[in-house]
Amino acid sequence: MSKQAKIEWLVNAFFNGDPSVVENLESYWHNDQAIQKLHDEFIENTITNFYVPLGVAPNFKINGKMYCVPMAIEESSVVAAAAKSAGFWKDRGGFKATVIDTCKIGHVHFFWNGSNPKVLYEWFEKNKAVFTEQTKVLTANMEARGGGMKSVKLINKNHLEEGYFQLEARFETVDAMGANFINSCLEQLSKTLETELSGSDLADCDKEVEIVMCILSNYTPECIVKVEVSCPVDELTIGENVEPIDFAEKFIRAIRIANIEPYRATTHNKGIMNGIDSVALATGNDFRAIEACAHAYASRDGQYKSLTNATIDSDNTFRFWIEVPMALGTVGGITKLHPTVKFCHELLGRPGAEELMMIVAATGLAQNFGAVRSLVTTGIQKGHMKMHLLNILNQLEATDQEKEIIRKEFETKTVSHKAVVDAFCSLRGIKSDHKTLKGK
Ligand code: MEV
């Protein structure tokens, strides 16, 4: 079916042929047909574009360099919190970031039910070079860029499942996220395994192998970035009524709770991912892979814990840091295709993957600082509802002038859905019907 035919089918099948549905879908098409075609071809069965706001959080000072960070996210308050934290830490030395390692891992998962695993190990050690040799056509380009397949080893997983083995390969993919490269290499490794084993001089019962699958692991605990902020406790001036030391201690308590209580850890890390995912999405990266990896890493000790930590050192320095694995790319995928993604890379000064890892992790840390700061001081709802006020007013279809009047009114009042509806109705001189207006 053509795109038009798909839309027609959809609207007839699910919307009683309502022409306003078609109009709405088409209103989100890009004016420039070539750009729209690009978007159409990113995925399958595209019918329109799905808008998410792109905001910017300025004032990120990372390793002495200033960034204005693009964030694509639908949730209010996230960009404000990141920007506020970035501004706070800019005046206290900024974010200190280090990429600890960039190694990525993939596996050929297979079953071998031969005579003795020792036979397989010995054969593999003797033939290891062939495995590397036969991936050369795939790795040559990556090697020219400083990356490649770094190692392959055989792992016996029989303690988990009888006959289960892996070929585990390690990769350096430089500025690419590398999923395609890694998966292609793994598929080649599996072919080598099959053909070399069957052509070997091993006993017939040792030549049989069943390849189950070849796939990179999105768990990249060896592709890690650490970002830290610190300052003397006395400089933690948060508000007039908050003593820096009280704030620091309460903040550390909150982090401790996220380290010992998975219910809190999940929400705590969700806040971090607000920052991380929004920059990942804006820069065309696979935020699902980053999420999956971060949560697996947060559980590495057997209990799901905070991705951030904080201490007060003996010299009275407050330290707050994040250590998180992150497989990112600044080349490949849609990074050079999607016009807004391209813009975001340019806004960040076209970083390489390692620099982007630091920016993304710093945004996660900033986000977490903002959330925990609010939680242990004013409470989260104060700032959040102020931001949400605009969403409520938009739902009510308030004019710009009405929005401004009501926004001013709520500078000193607590925002709730009912209070905003009441204020709106009183401004318009209409009867306040909370239920009807709520459904709007
Ligand atoms: C909301 O999207 C994120 C927070 O709940 C994070 C947190 O509680 O730390 C505010």
CB crowding 354-372: b at 16 or more within 10 Å, else e: bbbbbbbbbbbbbbbbbbb
- Amino acid making up residue 271: G
**Nearest Cα residue to atom 9 of ligand 1:** 268
Give the position of tokens 């995925």: 43
107 is catalytic: no
Quick one: DSSP state of residue 404?
H
267 alpha carbon – ligand 1 mean position (Å): 6
* Contact present, 115 and 204 (Cβ < 8 Å): no
**In a 3-state reduction of DSSP, which class is residue 311?**
strand
**Nearest Cα residue to atom 10 of ligand 1:** 371
Q: What is the pTM assigned to this prediction?
A: 0.91
373 alpha carbon – ligand 1 mean position (Å): 11
The per-residue pLDDT for 143 is 95
Our answer on whether the CB atom of 268 is closer than 6 Å to any ligand 1 atom is yes
Q: Which atom of ligand 1 is nearest to the CA of 78?
A: 2
380 alpha carbon – ligand 1 mean position (Å): 8
Our answer on whether the CB atom of 367 is closer than 6 Å to any ligand 1 atom is no
Find the catalytic residue in 228, 286, 338, 345. Answer: 286
Low-confidence ranges of the chain (pLDDT < 70): 433-440
75 is catalytic: yes
What backbone phi and psi angles, to 5 degrees, belong to 335?
-60, -35
For helices 117-144 and 179-198, angle between their N-to-C axes, nearest 10 degrees? 140
Our answer on whether the CB atom of 380 is closer than 6 Å to any ligand 1 atom is yes
168 alpha carbon – ligand 1 mean position (Å): 37
Summarize pLDDT for 338-350 with one digit per residue, the tens. Answer: 999 999 999 999 9
3 is catalytic: no
Rg of the chain over all Cα atoms, to the nearest angstrom:
27
CA angle 145, 219, 327 (to 5 degrees): 35
301 is catalytic: no
CB crowding 82-110: b at 16 or more within 10 Å, else e: bbbbbebbbeeebbbbebeebbbbbbbbb
Q: Which atom of ligand 1 is nearest to the CA of 274?
A: 2
2 alpha carbon – ligand 1 mean position (Å): 43
Helix locations, 300-433, DSSP H: 339-347, 353-376, 380-395, 400-409, 417-428
Our answer on whether the CB atom of 158 is closer than 6 Å to any ligand 1 atom is no
* Contact present, 189 and 214 (Cβ < 8 Å): yes
Q: State the SS3 of 275-289.
A: HHHHHHHHCCCCHHH
Tokens of 4: 């038009």
* Contact present, 169 and 186 (Cβ < 8 Å): yes
Helix locations, 283-379, DSSP H: 287-298, 339-347, 353-376
Q: Which atom of ligand 1 is nearest to the CA of 380?
A: 10
Q: State the SS3 of 77-121.
A: CHHHHHHHHHHHHHCCCCEEEEEEEECEEEEEEEECCCCCHHHHH
Residues facing residue 185 across a β-bridge: none
The per-residue pLDDT for 21 is 98
Tokens of 229: 């902020």
For helices 353-376 and 78-90, angle between their N-to-C axes, nearest 10 degrees? 100
129 alpha carbon – ligand 1 mean position (Å): 50
Find the catalytic residue in 270, 295, 386, 403. Answer: 270
Task: Tell me whether residue 47 is exposed, middle or buried, using C-beta atoms within 10 angstroms of its C-beta: 0 to 12, 13 to 18, 19 or more.
Answer: middle
- Amino acid making up residue 380: I
**In a 3-state reduction of DSSP, which class is residue 248?**
helix
